[in-house]
Structure 1
Amino acid sequence: MAKWLSPLDAMFLYMETPDSMMHVGGLIEIEVTKGTAGEMSRQIRDELQEMSSAQPPWNRKLATPRFLKNPAHRWVEDTEFDAMYHLRRAALPTPGGERELGVLVSRLHSRPLDFRRPPWECYIIEGHESGNLIIYTKVHHSLVDGYTAVKMLMRSFSNTPDGPDEPFFFQIPPEPRRNKPVSDSSDESAPADQGSFVSAVAGHWMSARDIGKGLGRLARSRFRKHDPIITVLQAPRSILNGRIGRNRRFATQQYDFARLRAIADAANCTLNDVVLAVCGGGLRSYLQSIDALPAKSLVAFVPVNIRPKDDDGGGNMVGGMLASLGTDADNAEDRLRAVVSSTSAAKRQMENMTRAAIIAYTTYVGSPLMIQTGLAKMGLGRVIPPSFNVVISNVPGPTQPLYFRGNRLTSVYPVSFLMHGGPLNITCESYGETLNFGFVGCRDTLPRLQRLALACGESLDELEKAYVTP
């Protein structure tokens, strides 16, 4: 059965270019204690040879794959689904360390997806020096957002090492939707069919008053020097807003939740505020090392998940806000205070809005993005100030340890997309008692991306010394 794409989902297809590919990914590491990584890889291969179908949305492909600018995109079922095409085996060269793994993931993430098939791929990687099995998955953002991808992928794992072997993620049927009252026109989690499109339009009209109040506050803030709210075209020009090439760099960091919580409790702020301050400190140090730090603070666009609790996902449903990263402050305390001030102001903007109003408000906040992207693509990124310098996302993951075929999952790293005018993306994903950071950068623009990852670790140390260490 055909399924219409929502305008937001279709936007990621319109933004697809050879240099700016709109797929997101995840890197999972599994500690193999039953057999070896090679044996497990071969077992997966044998299972795949018996598979000939997939469940939605993993069996959906575009009805018009050669016309990505189609104003009326539809998903249709791939009746010739080939599991062996989508799931592939790979191996690391010796010595099989983190460097070799980073290089392989960078190259795999630099390749476009084939829209003639369901737009996703999964790689089973062996040869890591630890003996662990690595799984790298990528999926186009038009098919699922990060929240949905994580939720669906994690259903392939068991909660106990002795639990039954779960089916692969693409074989698990979608969770049944909860019954909603017909009159609930604000439910943007409904399928993107014609009826839900009309409901969404109605929801936007009903939210006009909320949107007007928010935009009025933004307009007034431009004339108030000390207003903490960040508005459009307020970010500094920087190396983070130039044209990108097609090749990527990838780096990771993993931190214990307890460290970030201790700072948040001591500073009386949220964990997300601490994450932004960690990134701000890391970016300040990294950009100073390459003589590219702007005098004015960098601004981050922070996506916000606005789904109802326990929503089963599907499509894209995110709002967003602009936040200062405090990179103009030379100490950790001032940096965190700048972050908290701007995020608190942004949250007050949205706290009484409906979900439809938040999406419309986000559209306004990000409206200069297309201009920013277009100018950067033409090499004219300095014509107007950017609205933000970097996207920093926090994707909620599983809170309990998970197992695959009796082997424990040790880490989950997100791998996001880049676009012209934004050659850096930082996404973190929670898993158990850890927070896992994935740094994706343009290979041509940002040299030695691993230095940024290490600088963020040093930034976390500085915050601990300022707020936790006696």
Structure 2
Amino acid sequence: MSSATVRPARSAPGAVVSTAPAVTDFGPTDFTYLHTDTDSRHGHWAMALEFEPGDPALTLDAVRARVRERVSLFDLFRIGVREGRELEPEIVLHDDVDVDRHVTEDRFTDRGDLYRRIAALLEQPLPRPDPFWSVTLLTSSETGDQVILLKVHHSLSDGIAGAAFAGLLADVKDGDFSEFERFATSPRFRTGPIDPDLLHSSRVAFEKQWMDGEAGRDWPALTESGKREIALYRASTRTLRRAAKAHDASVHEFLLGAIAKTLSVAAPNGEGPQSESIRVTLPVTLDQSFRHTGNAVAISLLNLLGSESDLNRHIDRARAELAIVESSRMELALVANDQEPAPPWAEMREIVAASMDRMSPDIHIGINPGFTRVRSALGRKIAALTPLSPLVGYSFSVTCLILGGTTTFGIVTDPAALPGYAARFIEAFDAVIAEATPAQ
């Protein structure tokens, strides 16, 4: 593989940063996911594409051929990172991509084996300085069912801008790639200046939220094991809307309440002591136009009930917490600063690690709208697209994608902290949704 080093990832102190930076010009928010990346906490997200059964099986050669056709479409697909942990990163734009190395295959037997194999893939880092993504075709040796797992390092793209990577595989009409180009060639996101008074009030609100959720926490912490367990779940979007309406809630409020109830009735400690309060990181987009490359996500804190069986009480808490998030703009408290020269790389890495330790979240919940109109890849109809988030400081993550008639939930856990909990959560979550949905 030949490559061309574009530039150091950061501008020199005092340099003027372009207002319309190229996709190779990483910003402070992108660096966050390099600062937090460790041997046991890899900073990539993933998307599982599940196909409808019955169509002719995809072959590895066919998947590689499609990727080979598409990989030169956008520079975004050819970006890798050299170093970026203890040493300052530099961005590498590859002239050629070894598709055979980036697109591989595996086989599984039943659903549980599929989950184990996906988890094993999540445990493996994306090699540097190769392009920061990979594709794996997984095929059932018993039923012929197929799933494609796409992994992308979070420093390259958040989940919204990550829609560009669907362009590696998705079917398009008349060669029209405009749906993906929007997320592949637009300026890499920059926060821009923040009003000092707003920033101050945001930090005050963040600290108050942190203190309000500190008492009664007993959620198992993320370990250094590096192991992962996953589960995939899907539900009818219409069913979720009916359930939310029956509880006088928005879909967002209902999903937060249903997740919180599930964590309460299927507590990881079983019959032992439960967390009375669960501290949640909730991603909030800073780009309301949804037209960026890179990362435009900041974090707010929610404090959910951890020992409560009444769904309506959970929904009430979720509604109150969302109101605090919306009114306080607390997500600005931890936004990476791109208005001043950053400290030396190693020092900034220590600052980010200390900040995460100080925040000490219990779990992560992401509820995301889907934008793509594409419903097939390589001639196969897609049954579900399910996101899987990295574990960055927390031992449990559930990431939701509301896309047309199907809403999916990707569960990722640290089994050293929560043995067997991904499967147990899904079983209990399904029961909570069923109980909350009125009969037709």
Same fold (TM over 0.5): yes
What's the CA shift string for 1:368-415, capped at 9, x where partnerless? 9834755xxxxxxxxx8x653111012222465611233210011112
Hey, what's the Cα distance between the residues in 1 that align with 2:239 and 2:138? Answer: 31
2:74 touches 2:185 (CA, 8 Å); kept in 1?
no
Equivalent residue runs for 1:26-425 within 5 Å:
26-31=47-52, 33-37=54-58, 40-46=59-65, 53=72, 55-62=74-81, 65-71=82-88, 73-92=89-108, 96-127=109-140, 129-153=142-166, 156-158=169-171, 163=173, 177=186, 190-191=187-188, 200=191, 203-204=193-194, 207-217=195-205, 222=208, 231=211, 234=214, 236-287=216-267, 290-311=270-291, 313-350=292-329, 358-360=331-333, 370-371=353-354, 374=357, 387-398=360-371, 400=373, 402-419=375-392, 421-425=393-397
Kindly indicate whether the alpha-carbon contact (under 8 Å) linking 2:199 and 2:332 is maintained by their aligned counterparts in 1: no
| Matched residue, 2:403 | 431
Give ranges in structure 1 of 5+ residues lacking alignment. Answer: 178-189, 223-228, 351-356, 375-383
The amino acid of 1:143's aligned partner reads: L
Q: Secondary structure at the match of 1:9?
A: helix
- Residue 433 of structure 2 aligns to a residue in which SS? helix
Q: Which moved more, 1:6-15 or 1:282-291?
A: 282-291
% identical equivalent positions: 18
Matched, 1:23 2:74: no
Superposition deviation, residue 21 in structure 1? 0.7
Distance 1:52 1:427 in 2: 27
Alpha-carbon deviations, 1:246-301, whole Å to 9, x = none?
Answer: 11111111111112212322333321111111211111122266345535221211
Query: What do residues 166-188 of structure 1 show as CA deviations (whole Å, max 9, x unaligned)?
Result: 88x99x796554xxxxxxxxxxx
- The question of whether the paired residues in 2 share the 8 Å contact of 1:244 and 1:423 is answered with no
Contiguous gaps of at least 5 residues in structure 2: 1-5, 8-23, 338-349
TM-superposition CA deviations, 1:307-359 (whole Å, max 9, x none) = 13251x31111133222322232211112111111211221213xxxxxx853
C-alpha contact 2:206 2:301 (8 A) present in aligned 1: no
SS of the aligned residue for 1:240 comes to: coil
- From the superposition, tell whether residues 82 and 242 of structure 1 become closer, same or farther in structure 2 (CA, over 3 Å): closer
Residues 127, 454 of structure 1: alpha-carbon distance in 2 compared, 3 angstrom cutoff = same
Deviation, structure 1 residue 13: 1.2
CA distance in 2, matches of 1:49, 1:330: 51
Deviations 1:440-466 (CA, angstroms, capped at 9, x unpaired) = 1112111112011111112223333xx
Q: Compared with structure 1, are the counterparts of its residues 59 and 232 closer, same or farther at alpha carbon in structure 2 (3 Å cutoff)?
A: farther
Contact 2:170 2:374 in 1 (8 A): no
Give the Cα–Cα distance (whole angstroms) in 2 for the partners of residues 66 and 118 of structure 1: 13
Equivalent position amino acid for 2:138 in 1: I
How far apart are the structure 1 equivalents of 2:304 and 2:142? 37
Distance 1:403 1:218, change over 3 A: closer
Contact kept? 1:48, 1:84, Cα under 8 Å: no
CA distance in structure 1 between the partners assigned to 2:71 and 2:206 by the alignment? 53
CA RMSD of aligned residues (A): 3.3
Q: What is the number of residues matched between the two proteins?
A: 405
Kindly tell me: are residues 130 and 306 of structure 1, through their superposed partners in 2, closer, same or farther at Cα, counting changes over 3 Å?
farther
